Amino acid sequence: MNNKIKILLNLMIVIAAIVFLAMLINMNAAIRYAHRDTEDPVESAQRQMAYKVSHRAYGEVVDTYYWKRSDYLEPPEGMEDLYHVAAYAHAAFMSRVYEESKDEQAVRENAEKMERLKKDLGAYAFSADEVDAMIKKAP
């Protein structure tokens, strides 16, 4: 057989293998997505927020908090501490805003709110120090 034909056939086998692999990956993703409706939305949201807290993405925690509050006004069971983390992060951000605007009354009221929220952080008590450090480091 001609050397050029062997190279062409080998190239076609490699391309077919790559296409087959891509199809397997796509099929795997489709199967996972098909079972997505059986997941508990509260458990999924809890995992997402816990992941964001563990990676110190407190801005995203606050976003998720306000997004989920439109679904559940009261925190679902197991998410209370995560809701408190988000509320604390938001209050910490607002403390910086109040300090910049020199609104002393708002600073005092917000500091009291932060102390109340700090007591309710539960298993995520470590996040208060991290949020405070981030807010103080912000330019």
* pLDDT tens digits, one per residue of 16-49: 999 999 999 988 887 777 666 666 777 878 888 8
Nearest Cα residue to 72 out of 47, 60, 80: 80
> What integer pLDDT is reported at residue 139 of this predicted model?
62
> What integer pLDDT is reported at residue 15 of this predicted model?
96
> What integer pLDDT is reported at residue 46 of this predicted model?
82
Residue with tokens 């391309």: 15
Please name the residue ranges forming H helices in the chain: 3-34, 41-54, 58-69, 80-101, 104-119, 126-137
> What integer pLDDT is reported at residue 138 of this predicted model?
64
Calpha distance 31→119 (Å, rounded) = 43
